Structure 1
Amino acid sequence: MLLLNKNDIKNIFTMRDAIEADKEAFRIYTEGRSVVPLRTNIPATKYEGSMLFMPGYIEDLDCAGIKIVSVFPKNINKGKPVTPATVLLLDGTTGEVCSILDGTYVTQLRTGAASGAAIDVLARKDAKKGALIGTGGQACTQLEAMVEARNLEEVYIFDLDENRTKAFVEEMQEELKHYNTKFRVAKTSDEAIDDADVIITVTTSRRPVFDGNKVKKGATISAVGSYLPVMQELDPVALTRASKIFFESTEAVLSESGDILNPLKDGSITKNDFSGELGDVISGKILGRENDDEIIVFKTVGIAVQDVVTAKKIYDKAVEKGIGIEW
């Protein structure tokens, strides 16, 4: 069994690798070539948290896995990850656990890469300005995926905690300096999304975090944070203005996300407004962006096939390069 920590993974697996892994995962999922039960969610109400168990199996890749991930928003005040996790990768030919990976970092990678995949596939090619709303544990890889997918000149970043936002911007400006993108602090979400070509929301908010009327024509929105029916980052106005609405998994989104469930319930949108799954765009079965004026929304809640494919790609590279600890 191979043990792989965050540094091991960072040394061998890039954000571009993660984006390509997610693209493959979405295609496999949409083509029905995986077994991905809906995740089990056990609430830890006392601590306003949730513990999630996410299994998956991919016969074509001879692998399976399960991620155990918790979402405890108050961890940010303790200096701990908001989404601590562990991934167990299984050899699909024997059923044995072949690797244990730092699931917190795998989650950050594959979740950021989901936005990166959506931007890569759906955003305008000439996108120059980005907006990121939220600076929690998932924000670093969301930002990296955004600038990996498009050559952006600047990204405006907003969070309710201005001091945390300033610290985040300074840290990211140094860590991601090789992208030559300028990161700026936005004082409001309206300022962040003003004229933005790509927008990522990654919060646990229970009410919309930006004004959907202010989204420019041609923008691509990746909504990441709403993983429960009570959470709703997206302004329904953005959905009604959108030309297309894509999911990574229609089943998962309609089981979990208030971003979509609440507007469906109040009649702001209907299921006829849904365009399909990103995997079908990637495989060429349906069209993505057709012109530069379309507002396109991608809603993701995360599915286990992302973790399994990403973990398998990381494991294969680690074995090839002799990285990790045998146990």
Structure 2
Amino acid sequence: MLVLTKEDIKKVFTMKDAIEADKDALRIYSAGKCVSPLRVNIDIPKEQGQSLFMPAYVEEFDATGIKIVSVFPKNIEKGKPSVPAQMILLDGTTGEVCAILDGTYLTQLRTGAVQGAATDILAKKDAKIGVLFGTGGQAATQLEAMVCVRNLEEVRVFDINYERAKEFAETMQRELAAYDTEIVAVENGNEAVRNADIITCVTTSRRPVFDGTLVKKGAHVNGVGAYTPQMQELDENIVKNADKVFFDTKEGVLAEAGDFLIPMEKGIVSEQDFNGELGEVILGQILGRETDEEITLFKTVGAAVLDVVTAHQIYKKAIENNVGNVVEI
């Protein structure tokens, strides 16, 4: 069994690699060529957290596995990742465990990459201004994915804690220096979105983090953070007014995402207002962006197929490059 740490993964797998892996996963999911049931969520009310169990099987890669991931927002105060996790990868031909990967970094990587895939497919090619809401454990890869797929001049970072936003922006300016993008902390999220081309939200907020009426024509919006029926980081106006709306998985979003369940319950939108899955766009079954005036919206709640495909591709590269620690069990 191969054990792969965050540093092992970073040695062999880039954000571009992860974006392509997620595109494969979305394509496979929308084609109905995998088994990826809804995750099992167990609430941990004492810590205001949840533990999630996410299995999948992908025949195309002879891979199966389960990710065990928890979301504990208060971990930030303890200096620990807010999304600790482990990924257990199995050989789909024998059922044997072939690898255990750092699931925290895998989650960060594939979650950033699925937003990167959506932004690459749906955002205008000449996008220049980005906005990122949230600076938690998922934020760094979200920012990297945005600048990886578009040549952005500026990304504005907003957090309810402005000092944390400043510290994050300064750190990311150093870490992403190769992209030549100015990363700045802002105190007013609504002002930040007024002329933004790409807006990405990665928070656990239970109320909208910006005014959806301020989104300009031609912008692309990503809802990444809210993953329960009670969370709602996206304003109902943007959900209603977006010209096209796409999901990572329709089943997952309409079962778990308060961003859509809450306005649907109010009768503001209905299932008929949504275009479909990003995988269907990749397959050519439905159209993505058609004009520079359209506002596009992408919502992801995550799916185990993303983890299994990404973990499998990482495992292959690690084997090829002799990276990781082999453990006999």
TM-score range normalised by the length of the shorter chain: over 0.9
The answer to whether the aligner puts 1:311 opposite 2:296 as a matched pair is: no
Distance in 2, Cα, partners of 1:275 & 1:166: 37
Distance in 2, Cα, partners of 1:269 & 1:95: 43
Secondary structure of 1:53's aligned partner = strand
Residue ranges of structure 1 left out of the alignment (5+ in a row): none
Q: 1:89-142: per-residue Cα shift (whole Å, max 9, x none)? A: 000000000000000000000000011000000000010000000000000000
Distance in 1, Cα, partners of 2:290 & 2:239: 17
Distance in 1, Cα, partners of 2:322 & 2:152: 35
Partner of 2:264: 264
State the TM-score, normalizing by the size of structure 2. Answer: 0.99
Aligned-partner residue type, residue 272 of structure 1: Q
State the TM-score, normalizing by the size of structure 1. Answer: 0.99
Assess if the C-alpha contact under 8 Å between 1:230 and 1:258 holds in 2: yes
Partner of 2:130: 130
Partner of 2:145: 145
Partner of 1:198: 198
1:285, CA displacement in angstroms?
1.1
Distance in 2, Cα, partners of 1:310 & 1:80: 24
Distance in 2, Cα, partners of 1:280 & 1:250: 11
Aligned-partner residue type, residue 179 of structure 2: Y
Partner of 1:69: 69
1:45-64 to structure 2, matched below 5 A, reads 45-64=45-64
Distance in 2, Cα, partners of 1:68 & 1:136: 19
Partner of 2:31: 31
The answer to whether the aligner puts 1:88 opposite 2:88 as a matched pair is: yes
Partner of 1:98: 98
Aligned-partner residue type, residue 323 of structure 2: I
1:188, CA displacement in angstroms?
1.1
Aligned-partner residue type, residue 272 of structure 2: N
Q: 1:218-277: per-residue Cα shift (whole Å, max 9, x none)? A: 010110011001100000100111111100101001111100000000011111101000
Residue ranges of structure 2 left out of the alignment (5+ in a row): none
Distance in 1, Cα, partners of 2:148 & 2:311: 20
Give the 4+ runs in structure 1 shifted more than 3 A.
none
Assess if the C-alpha contact under 8 Å between 1:15 and 1:113 holds in 2: yes
Distance in 2, Cα, partners of 1:310 & 1:272: 31
Distance in 2, Cα, partners of 1:99 & 1:191: 46
1:1-327 to structure 2, matched below 5 A, reads 1-327=1-327
Distance in 1, Cα, partners of 2:282 & 2:189: 31
Distance in 2, Cα, partners of 1:74 & 1:97: 32
Give the percent of matched residue pairs that are identical in Structure 1 and Structure 2: 61
Assess if the C-alpha contact under 8 Å between 1:211 and 1:235 holds in 2: yes
1:191, CA displacement in angstroms?
2.2
Secondary structure of 2:35's aligned partner = coil
Secondary structure of 1:230's aligned partner = coil
Aligned-partner residue type, residue 137 of structure 2: G
Q: 1:141-175: per-residue Cα shift (whole Å, max 9, x none)? A: 00000000111000001000011111000000000
Secondary structure of 1:163's aligned partner = helix
Assess if the C-alpha contact under 8 Å between 1:248 and 1:279 holds in 2: yes
1:192, CA displacement in angstroms?
2.0
Assess if the C-alpha contact under 8 Å between 1:221 and 1:296 holds in 2: yes
Q: 1:291-310: per-residue Cα shift (whole Å, max 9, x none)? A: 00100110000000000000
Distance in 1, Cα, partners of 2:20 & 2:192: 28
1:186, CA displacement in angstroms?
1.0
1:24, CA displacement in angstroms?
0.3
Aligned-partner residue type, residue 258 of structure 1: G
Distance in 2, Cα, partners of 1:285 & 1:80: 42
Distance in 1, Cα, partners of 2:193 & 2:110: 24
Assess if the C-alpha contact under 8 Å between 1:132 and 1:192 holds in 2: no
1:85, CA displacement in angstroms?
0.3
